[in-house]
Amino acid sequence: MGLNEKVCKKLEMADPKNSNHVAMFPWFGFGHFIPFLHLSNKLAEKGYKVSYLLPKGAQPKLSQLNQHPNLIHFFPLVVPHVEGLPPGAETCSDVPYPLHDQLCTALDLTRDQVKAILAVIKPNFVLFDVAYWIPALGRELGFKSVMYATVCAAGHSLRLVPAMKIVKGMSFEEMMQTPPGYPSSTVVPRPDEVAQARSLAEEFGSGLSKYDRLVTSKEESDAIALRTCREFEGPFIDYMAQQFGKPVLLAGPVLPEDPLSQLEEKWHKWLSKFEAGSVVFCAFGSQIKLKKNQFQELLLAFELSGLPFLVALAPPEGCSTIEEAIPEGFEKRVQAKGWVYGDWVPQPQILGHPSVGCFVSHCGFSSMWEALQSDCQIVLAPHLGDQIVNTMLLVKEHNVAVEVEREGNGWISKENLNKAIKSVMDNSSEVAQVVKSNRYKLKKVLFDENMQESYIDSFTMNLQALLIN
C-alpha cells in the first residue's frame, strides 16, 4: 500500500479531530511571525486548531491578521532580558541586526516556558525555525517537529546544507563556490551575497553559529516545510530533500486572498488621487534601518522620478522621527505628490490598490510573495543575504523584476534608483514590457485559484503522514 493510500486509510479510520492540533513557534521577527500566521490561517480553514507561541508584545500587530480567532490562539511568552539587549526588547524590530545574536539567546531562554505550554496543550505537531531544541522536546513530549523555513529554498540550498559548511575564515574563493550537486547556475554567489553569507558563521544565540543552528534544526526535525512551490523553486526543493533525506512539505505562497478589501480610508483616499498604476510604493520590511544619508538619497530619487510616491521606511539611524530625516525643502518641493511615512503601513493592502504601479522593495521573502501577487512592476534593493538570493530568483531565474545598480561600497545613488524605476515605469521601454509580461505569466501560475488550495491539501496530507511513521 502506497503512502497516500496509507494516509487515506489512517484518515478514514482516525477521527481527524484527534490529530489536527499544530503549535507554531517562529523566530522573533515579523518576517517570520507573518508567514507562520498566514499558514495558521490556511490550516484553520482545514479545521486545524493552532496554538501560536510568541513574545507578548508582538501580539497586537498580528491579531488583525488572525482570520480565525476561534481556532488560532496566541500564547504570549515573557522574553528574558539578556545582557546587551535594550530593556524590554522582544523582536528583531526592537534591536539592530548585530544584536540578533543576543535576541536568539533570549529565545533559547524561553525553553522552559515553551515546554510547560506544550506539555499542557499537547499538540500533534510543532512548526518552528530557529529553536533547534524543539525536536528534542518532541521526542520527550510526543509531538512531530517540522522546521518551517520562511526564506526561499534557493537560499537554504545555497548556504544551509550539510554539503558545504559555512565557518569563520573561509576564503572569498571558497565562499564563491556552490555546494556539490547544487542545482542552479543563475542563482549563485556574488561578492555582496558572500559578504552577507559570512554572518552565517557568526554566533546566533547561545554560542551556536547561524549555520549550525539552522542546519541542526533541519537535521533534527521530523520533516522540513517550505513556504514555496515547485513552479517557483522546483530544483531547489528536490536538492533540499536529497541533502536532508527527509520529507519536504510544500505550503505554497501562503498569502491571504484579496487584501484590498481591508485598506483603511486614509490610504485609499490619498492613493486614489493618482491615476492607475502611477504611484511608486517603497518599503524595506520590518528590520532595516538605513543610514541617514542613504535614506535622504532614496527620497531624492523618488523626487527625481517625477512620479507620485509613498515611502514607508523606519526612521534612519540617529533619527527618532521620520520628520528629522527629511531633507531641507523636500516636502515643499514634492507637495501633495509624495508621502513619507515612518511607521507600519498595511503593505499587502497598499500593493493591491489600483493606483500603485511600482514596488521598490528589499525583497524580504514575504514582500517578495506579496509583490508577485500584486500587479506592480518590481524594483529590488536587497540588503541581507537571503534577500539577495530572492532578488536573483526574481531577476535572473524568472526575469520578472529589475535590481537597482549599486556603487562599489553598496551605495544606492538617486540616479541609479531613478533609472531602475523609469526602466519599469516607462511602458515604451523593452525592459518594462518584458518583465511585465513575465510577471503576468508567473502570477497566473503561482496564484491560480486551485493551486494554493491543492498545496495546502497536500501539506496537511503529508503532515498526517508523519504520524504513521
- As measured in angstroms, the least distance from the Cβ of 305 to ligand AWU is 21
Nearer to ligand AWU, 115 or 443 (CB): 443
Nearer to ligand AWU, 72 or 310 (CB): 310
- As measured in angstroms, the least distance from the Cβ of 361 to ligand AWU is 7
Q: How far apart are CA 102 and CA 100, in angstroms?
A: 5
Left if phi > 0, otherwise alpha if psi is -120 to 50, otherwise beta: which for 247? beta
- Asked whether the beta carbons of 290 and 97 are under 8 A apart, the reply is no
Q: Where are the alpha helices (DSSP H) in 291-429?
A: 292-305, 330-334, 347-351, 365-373, 385-392, 414-425
Out of 21, 32, 49, 100, name the contact with ligand AWU by CB under 6 A: 32
Q: Coil, helix or strand for 352?
A: coil
Out of 97, 172, 344, 411, name the contact with ligand AWU by CB under 6 A: 344
Which residues share a beta bridge with 309?
280, 338
Nearer to ligand AWU, 249 or 351 (CB): 351
Out of 254, 312, 326, 381, name the contact with ligand AWU by CB under 6 A: 312
Nearer to ligand AWU, 76 or 346 (CB): 346
Tell me the residue number closest to ligand AWU, measured at CB: 31
Nearer to ligand AWU, 172 or 344 (CB): 344
Out of 91, 150, 217, 462, name the contact with ligand AWU by CB under 6 A: 150
Q: Site residues for ligand AWU, window 370-389 (CB under 6 A)?
A: 370, 384, 386-387
Q: How far apart are CA 251 and CA 229, in angstroms?
A: 7
| 139: Cβ contacts below 8 Å, ≥ 6 apart | none
How many residues touch ligand AWU under the rule CB under 6 A: the total is 25
Q: How far apart are CA 461 and CA 3, in angstroms?
A: 10
Out of 184, 366, 373, 391, name the contact with ligand AWU by CB under 6 A: 366
| All cell numbers assigned to 235 | 530544483
- Asked whether the beta carbons of 182 and 158 are under 8 A apart, the reply is yes
- As measured in angstroms, the least distance from the Cβ of 122 to ligand AWU is 29
Out of 135, 252, 308, 364, name the contact with ligand AWU by CB under 6 A: 364
- Asked whether the beta carbons of 108 and 77 are under 8 A apart, the reply is no
Nearer to ligand AWU, 110 or 286 (CB): 286
Q: How far apart are CA 98 and CA 402, in angstroms?
A: 29
| All cell numbers assigned to 140 | 520527550
Q: DSSP E strands: which ranges in 161-307?
A: 223-226, 248-250, 279-283
Which residues share a beta bridge with 72?
50
Look at the chain and count its residues.
469
Q: How far apart are CA 123 and CA 1, in angstroms?
A: 28
- As measured in angstroms, the least distance from the Cβ of 5 to ligand AWU is 36
Q: How far apart are CA 91 and CA 108, in angstroms?
A: 13
Question: Candidates 118-126, 140-148, 245-253, 338-346 — which segment interacts with ligand AWU by CB under 6 A?
Answer: 338-346
Q: How far apart are CA 289 and CA 413, in angstroms?
A: 17
- As measured in angstroms, the least distance from the Cβ of 192 to ligand AWU is 14
| 259: Cβ contacts below 8 Å, ≥ 6 apart | 346, 348, 349, 351, 352
Backbone phi, psi, residue 202, to 5°: -80, 160
Question: Candidates 94-102, 195-203, 339-347, 418-426 — which segment interacts with ligand AWU by CB under 6 A?
Answer: 339-347
- Asked whether the beta carbons of 286 and 92 are under 8 A apart, the reply is yes
Q: Site residues for ligand AWU, window 34-63 (CB under 6 A)?
A: 34
Q: Coil, helix or strand for 391?
A: helix
Nearer to ligand AWU, 287 or 418 (CB): 287
Nearer to ligand AWU, 22 or 34 (CB): 34
Instruction: Decide if residue 157 touches ligand AWU (CB under 6 A).
Output: no
Nearer to ligand AWU, 97 or 426 (CB): 97
Nearer to ligand AWU, 123 or 352 (CB): 352
Question: Candidates 5-13, 24-32, 295-303, 417-425 — which segment interacts with ligand AWU by CB under 6 A?
Answer: 24-32
Out of 31, 138, 338, 342, name the contact with ligand AWU by CB under 6 A: 31
Which residues share a beta bridge with 147?
128, 224
Q: How far apart are CA 93 and CA 110, in angstroms?
A: 19
Q: Strand pairing of 72-77 and 49-55? A: parallel
- As measured in angstroms, the least distance from the Cβ of 271 to ligand AWU is 15
- As measured in angstroms, the least distance from the Cβ of 371 to ligand AWU is 9
Nearer to ligand AWU, 267 or 365 (CB): 365
Question: Candidates 13-21, 26-34, 393-401, 422-430 — which segment interacts with ligand AWU by CB under 6 A?
Answer: 26-34
Nearer to ligand AWU, 160 or 466 (CB): 160
Q: Site residues for ligand AWU, window 247-286 (CB under 6 A)?
A: 283, 285-286
Q: Using CB under 6 A as the criterion, which residues of the chain lie in contact with ligand AWU when the complex forms?
A: 29-32, 34, 150-151, 283, 285-287, 312, 344-348, 364-367, 370, 384, 386-387
